[in-house]
Chains A and B, each alone.
Chain A
Amino acid sequence: MLDPEVVEEDAPVEEPEEELVEEDLLVEDVSIDGMCGVY
């Protein structure tokens, strides 16, 4: 049985605790309608 992948291939080795460094943009915007499971 294979272990599930826990590390992204291109994840940085060290990451500031609460920052997501793989994305440059700190804000992502979506419509409230953009969630599946709400008809």
Chain B
Amino acid sequence: MQPQPTPTRPLATTFDPRTITRPDPALMRYYAVVAVLTVLGFPIALLLGWIRYHTLRYRFDDQGVWMAWGVLFRREINITYRRIQDIHLTRNVIQRWMGLATVSVQTASGSASAEMTIEGIPQADELRDFLYARMRGARGLDDHAAPSAPPLAQPLSQPADDEALALLRQIRDNLHTLAARQERRP
């Protein structure tokens, strides 16, 4: 086997998770290998893997990820990108041989195990970075442009007819009349 150089990933690739609906066929092969490794549980493990592979569906949209699987016991998971707390990318030897990976996504719920485990996507690195770019804090400083320095462009372009300004103008005018009256008195 050839030593594979780790692919260097440019940020903007052609990878678009929105087109993903099904896991890669390699996932079925992976499940088969894992089933073989369980020795005694082989038939059951193979059946479960087969069911999971054939019913597994993904949907990546603008807000978050949806995944579902199962026949008798159906399960569906929804996660919004913004609620992602940490992303784990795990590859064991077999997965590396098959070019697979497990992307585990965690939200702030109390469980130690991952809320969503995305399997069978060959471009796992790209998927991880796709999720990373959409989780909170990944875009950096725009998240908290310091409270003392509000964005300048917006208020300037805004017509300044808000209540505070109107009030201030009233106060100024009242003061003006007061000052004028005082001037006349002596």
Mutual binders A and B: no
A residues sitting closer than 8 Å to B (CB atoms) are none
